[in-house]
Amino acid sequence: MAAALGSGVGGWHRAGLQSSRRTPAPRTPAQRTHQLARRRSPADRRRVTGMASPRGQGTEEQRSGVARLIGTPVYTVLEVGELLVVLMLLDAAFSGDWSRIGAISKDTELALQKVSAIVLIGHLGTGAAAGWLASQKGRAPLLPAVKGFLFGALGLYEEQNSQ
């Protein structure tokens, strides 16, 4: 009998034996959260799914991750650190000093020039997005656009989480 059942999926069906009870498919955490969200009120649904409240960004307890750091000295250190890394990349790529003293090769300098072009295009994009986001909120777009260009994703993230 054991040989007739076989192993793997469908072994019972090949042998002509079927369970009278259907086993439900296992649910993922996302499916359970979605199912809970359908049963609750809109305010509870926002809380379960992690959606922001429509009147703002919520209380300090509801803000998470980097959003809690905005305006703190730690966030300022992150911004300055990102700016310094970008400036060091540009210096290594375009000054020629590093390859002249032998710290990097000419091939590495050319590769850094290509990488820095990608980084600058990304910073231009985040600056434009931060400026656009500020204008959608009815604020002057110049300062957020400059912060988005200088600090990249941190500047855009700050504008996205501003009131």
Whether 144 maps to a domain, the answer reads yes
Q: Which domain holds residue 99?
A: 68-160
Whether 3 maps to a domain, the answer reads no
Residue 126 lies in a domain: yes
Residue 36 within a domain: no
Question: Is residue 105 a part of any domain in this protein?
Answer: yes
pLDDT band at 90 (very low <50, low <70, confident <90, very high): very high
When the pLDDT of each residue in the chain is averaged and rounded to a whole number, the result is: 76
pLDDT in tens, 94-151: 999 988 999 999 999 999 999 999 999 999 999 999 999 999 999 999 999 999 999 9
d(CA 30, CA 50): 12
- Rounded Cα distance, 117 and 65, in Å: 29
Q: What's residue 108's pLDDT?
A: 94
Structural domain includes residue 2: no
Residue 57 belongs to a domain: no
Structure token digits, residue 150: 């200088």
Number of domains in the chain: 1
Do the domain assignments include residue 21? no
